[in-house]
């Protein structure tokens, strides 16, 4: 029963973490500028997985520490939810008033890789892009930390934990996995679709993220208040 409850808690957090217009936009730019989309896409994906696993393990450590020190009670988790919710709301407000114009200019310069470069050099550079994209994505990190915390608190056993982490990874990175498959299976069609999509995301990504973060932030705050039994 505990494993079912854990999965039920992980899935919504994973879908929340998956909402990342910026990551999708950067991935589309990466793929469109690459002479080897398969290599660049997989490298970007591996970099994203690396950051995600580090974050979820940090969350698991936090959850385990809370349990072992006797702080896994509703009051403590509620206070943490209030804190995380407040951060999400602040990020949403910041995103709403932020301007996205020109934010990818330095990245585009970094993505201009010599076609004569070795595959390892290309892998390293695209891996770094994927790593940095998710390393600096604070909203996604918060949801992954929260999911990791739930895994650490649940204490359901190693195999259930592994399954939860795999599920969390697959759902969170679906924003990368779907276009990656599209580029691999239908590269010409993907190129036609990616350009207008990237233009739309460049114009509206901040607004999309602001609305999403505000909604989720207030929901997390409400969840924290419920744990604290304030209302």
User: Which tens digits make up the pLDDT trace of 139-165?
Assistant: 788 889 888 888 888 878 888 889 999
User: CB within 8 A of 141, min separation 6: which ones?
Assistant: 55, 134
Question: Can you tell me the mean pLDDT for 5-16?
Answer: 86
107, pLDDT greater than 60 = no
Task: Please indicate whether residue 221 or residue 206 has the higher confidence score (pLDDT).
Answer: 221
- Mapping DSSP to helix (H, G, I), strand (E, B) and coil, where does residue 69 land? coil
Residue 155 backbone zone (phi > 0: left; psi -120 to 50: alpha; other: beta): left
Q: Considering its fold, how many domains does the chain have in total? A: 1
The mean pLDDT value of the chain amounts to: 78
User: Which tens digits make up the pLDDT trace of 30-51?
Assistant: 777 777 888 888 999 999 999 9
Q: Closest Cα partner for 14 from 127, 177, 126?
A: 177
Q: How far is CA 142 from CA 13, 19, 202, 218, in A?
A: 9, 12, 23, 14
Structural domain harbouring 160? 2-228
Residue 231 — pLDDT band, cuts 50, 70, 90? low
Task: Please indicate whether residue 125 or residue 216 has the higher confidence score (pLDDT).
Answer: 125
**CA terminus-to-terminus distance, the chain:** 28
Q: How far is CA 172 from CA 73, 93, 145, in A?
A: 27, 23, 12
What is the structure's pLDDT at 50? 95
Q: Closest Cα partner for 180 from 14, 32, 76?
A: 32
Task: Please indicate whether residue 62 or residue 105 has the higher confidence score (pLDDT).
Answer: 62
């Amino acid at each position: 029963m505990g494993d079912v409850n854990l999965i039920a808690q992980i899935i919504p957090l994973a879908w929340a973490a998956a909402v990342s217009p910026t990551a999708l936009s950067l991935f589309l730019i990466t793929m469109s500028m690459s002479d080897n989309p398969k290599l660049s896409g997989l490298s970007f994906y591996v970099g994203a997985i690396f950051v995600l696993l580090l974050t979820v393990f940090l969350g698991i450590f936090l959850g385990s520490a809370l349990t072992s020190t006797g702080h896994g009670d509703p009051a403590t988790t509620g206070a943490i939810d209030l804190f995380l919710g407040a951060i999400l709301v602040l990020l949403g407000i910041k995103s709403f008033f932020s301007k996205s114009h020109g934010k990818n200019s330095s990245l585009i310069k970094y993505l201009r890789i010599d076609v004569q470069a070795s595959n390892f050099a290309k892998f390293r550079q695209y891996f770094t892009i994927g790593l940095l994209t998710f390393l600096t994505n604070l909203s996604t990190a918060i949801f992954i930390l929260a999911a990791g915390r739930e895994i650490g608190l649940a204490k359901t056993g190693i195999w259930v934990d592994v399954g939860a982490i795999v599920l969390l990874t697959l759902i969170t990175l679906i924003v990368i996995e779907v276009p990656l498959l599209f580029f691999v299976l239908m590269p010409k069609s993907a190129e036609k679709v990616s350009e207008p999509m990237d233009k739309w995301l460049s114009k509206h990504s901040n607004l999309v993220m602001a609305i999403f973060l505000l909604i989720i932030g207030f929901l997390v705050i409400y969840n924290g208040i419920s744990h604290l039994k304030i209302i």
